[in-house]
């Protein structure tokens, strides 16, 4: 039997043994204060943390039946049974679906059958608040409360949860903070958009701002992508930085740049990856293609190589070996629309004082013309990258 009391960095066993009192202590430490009652029979249990972040993942298995009463739950908890049966009693109402969602200000009791295995996503309330603020344009007027039942219609949300757990088990989320942030954002936004809650009707009737994004707003978005490309930012973060509603930002990227905010962000990250590979090839840095790809959030190496080749005309490995001039054309229209993005954004200076789309073709920084076949190939590859 062992209990880990130090915060884990990734996929780590927090408790393994047959002392259920010690197991209870471990759940108090890592899941939050609770009361627990166990049934008869075999008494082995395992508690593992798969990921820690705005959305933390834990895997809980116990051979004995358990009843758990969380005390003052400060977060949202999405529980999904991977073995056995689970149920929840929330404010006196019993829910027996294989997955359920609970949150702050709720009286909760969990029932888990003998031999149950549970994937538990612990979601910071601040992450949910930010997702709602993005949609409402302001802080939510009241605390949000989700419907407890997660029905079969929410299977896409559970599929995201399973995929995130698989990525965590493989070590991917620890190696690539960008990938971890993307999974966290995807799960939170999927819940806000698909799981019924107390603000669902307000979101559905929310009138979007009628004004279109100004060039300055678009410049703020472009500069934000450049300055924060190394961070796990989302399209929601870009819209907040641009100070316009998400739908307006997406429309402006489509009409002005013929792309989407996330495709643009991927292109920025690709440029950074390209510069890192050139630095390694020139003997100015150490690393390899895998390290560089993961550093910039490209978790599927095959798709990364295809995307890279569609833009630069050769593979990342060929860049690393040197001797392959880049074949990238400059889109002069984009340069005219967004000239001066770095200075107008008000968010700080971009790398080397220039946005990536404003540099000369021989530096590998110019955007492929949006009307070219190469650009269409680039956009297709960009959509395929995780």
- pLDDT of 301: 92
Q: What percent of the chain is predicted at pLDDT more than 90?
A: 46
C-alpha distances in Å from residue 196, one per residue of 23, 137, 184, 203: 34, 20, 19, 11
**3-state SS of the chain: helix, strand, coil percent to 5?**
45, 20, 35
- pLDDT tens-place string over residues 54-83: 999 999 999 999 999 988 888 999 999 999
- pLDDT of 43: 83
Q: How many CB atoms lie within 10 A of CB 307?
A: 26
DSSP string across 163-178: HHHHHHHTTHHHH-HH
pTM, 2 dp: 0.60
87 pLDDT more than 90: yes
- For the chain, what is the mean pLDDT? 79
For 2-127, CATH number? 2.60.120.10
The stretches of 195-337 forming alpha helices (DSSP H) are 200-205, 215-227, 235-242, 246-252, 261-281, 289-295, 301-312, 316-321, 332-337
- pLDDT tens-place string over residues 240-285: 998 888 888 888 899 888 899 999 999 999 989 998 998 898 888 8
Q: Which has the higher per-residue pLDDT, 367 or 228?
A: 228
- pLDDT tens-place string over residues 103-124: 998 999 999 999 999 999 999 9
- pLDDT tens-place string over residues 318-354: 998 875 555 443 343 344 345 444 433 333 333 333 3
């Amino acid at each position: 039997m062992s209990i880990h009391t130090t915060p884990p960095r990734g996929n780590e066993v927090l408790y393994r043994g047959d002392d259920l009192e010690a197991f209870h202590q471990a759940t108090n430490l890592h899941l939050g204060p609770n009361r627990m009652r166990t049934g008869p029979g075999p008494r082995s249990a395992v508690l593992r943390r798969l990921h820690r972040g705005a959305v933390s993942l834990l895997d809980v298995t116990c051979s004995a039946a358990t009843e758990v009463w969380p005390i003052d739950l400060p977060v949202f908890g999405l529980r999904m049974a991977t073995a056995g049966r689970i149920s929840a009693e929330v404010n006196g109402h019993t829910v027996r679906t294989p997955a359920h969602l609970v949150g702050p200000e709720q009286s909760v009791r969990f029932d888990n059958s003998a031999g149950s295995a549970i994937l538990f996503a612990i979601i910071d309330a601040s992450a949910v608040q930010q997702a709602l603020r993005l949609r409402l344009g302001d802080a939510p007027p009241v605390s949000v409360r989700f419907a407890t039942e997660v029905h079969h219609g929410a299977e896409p949300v559970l599929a995201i949860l399973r995929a995130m757990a698989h990525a965590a088990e493989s070590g991917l989320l620890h190696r690539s903070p960008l990938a971890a942030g993307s999974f966290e954002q995807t799960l939170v936004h999927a819940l806000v958009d698909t799981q019924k809650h107390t603000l669902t009707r307000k979101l559905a009737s929310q009138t979007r701002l009628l004004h279109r994004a100004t060039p300055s707003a678009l410049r703020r978005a472009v500069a934000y992508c450049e300055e924060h490309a190394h961070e796990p930012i989302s399209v929601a973060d870009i819209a907040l930085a641009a100070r316009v509603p998400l739908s307006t930002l997406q429309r402006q990227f489509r009409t002005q740049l013929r792309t989407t905010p996330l495709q643009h962000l991927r292109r920025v990250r690709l440029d950074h990856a390209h510069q890192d590979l050139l630095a390694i090839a020139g003997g100015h840095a150490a690393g390899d293609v895998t390290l560089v790809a993961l550093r910039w959030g490209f978790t599927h190496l095959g798709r990364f190589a295809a995307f890279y080749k569609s833009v630069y005309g050769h593979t990342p490995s060929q860049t690393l070996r040197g001797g392959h001039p880049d074949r990238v054309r400059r889109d002069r229209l984009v340069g005219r629309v967004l000239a001066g993005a770095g200075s107008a954004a008000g968010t700080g200076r971009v790398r080397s004082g220039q946005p990536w789309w404003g540099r000369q073709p021989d530096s590998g920084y110019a955007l492929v013309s949006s009307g070219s076949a190469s650009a269409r190939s680039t956009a297709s590859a960009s959509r395929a990258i995780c």
